[in-house]
Amino acid sequence: MAGTVFASVSMSLDGYVAPGSAGELMGRQWMELQAWVFPTRTFRERLSMGAGGETGQDDDLVRATCERTGANIMGRRMIDAGEAMWPEEPPFRSPVFVLTHREREPWVRAGGTTFHFVTDGIESALDQAREAADDLDVRVSGGAETIQQYLNAGLLDELTVSVSPVIFGAGVRLFDGVDSERVAPEQVHAQTSPRTTHLTYAVSQRE
């Protein structure tokens, strides 16, 4: 059975994790938000961008995240954007469980990624992801609304936020809709690199 259920996401200084519309992905602000991850060797390998890339603190985090993840969970909006952007071999290389209201047959991609479409809720998706992950961890990949659902349900054990030096001003906030009366993060690790600050929290529920 899988271990930790975690999420890791880049966030702007003013609390946004994505622009307001899918059409703004890959725009200037988005590129600045993700500037810490794009140059890393592991990310380049995962996106089939060729040899090379930077090593160091940021690459260590990306590599550790990939190695610990046995299955992913994501929302429908994330895959809608990803279908247009990901290469034929998506970066996940593990089963991905997509929360949706529309039934769809599994979508098998190169490199070990199969997208399974789950129509009966977040707990069912997590149960399936845990089984698929075996003794590895389950990553709630996004987007923000999906992470919020798992936070509010008490189903997320750990959250890593990589705070990038960019201001969005508008877009999708990470913590909008999170029940502040119940969700209790505790910082367990902080690491600063030249491009971002990685903050990791253990997440529990207040009684």
Determine the pLDDT at residue 24: 66
End-to-end CA distance of the chain: 26
The tokens describing 108, both together, are 């098998």
**Whole-model pTM over 0.85:** yes
Contacts of residues 39-47 at CB distance under 8 Å and 24 or more positions apart, as own/partner, are: 42/66, 43/91, 46/91, 46/93, 47/87, 47/91
Determine the pLDDT at residue 129: 97
Radius of gyration of the chain (CA): 16
The burial of 106, by beta-carbon neighbours within 10 Å (0-12 exposed, 13-18 middle, 19 or more buried), is given as exposed
Of 62, 17, 20, 60, give the one whose Cα is nearest residue 178.
17
Mean pLDDT by 10 residues, the chain (207 residues): 88 91 71 93 87 92 96 89 79 94 91 94 97 96 94 96 94 92 95 95 91
Measured between alpha carbons, how far is 3 from 135 in angstroms, rounded to an integer?
A: 6
CB 58 within 8 A of CB 193: yes
Q: Count CA within 13 A, CB hemisphere, residue 102.
A: 6
**Options 3.30.2320.20, 3.40.430.10, 3.40.50.1220, 3.30.2020.10; which CATH number does 5-205 get?**
3.40.430.10
CB 168 within 8 A of CB 160: no
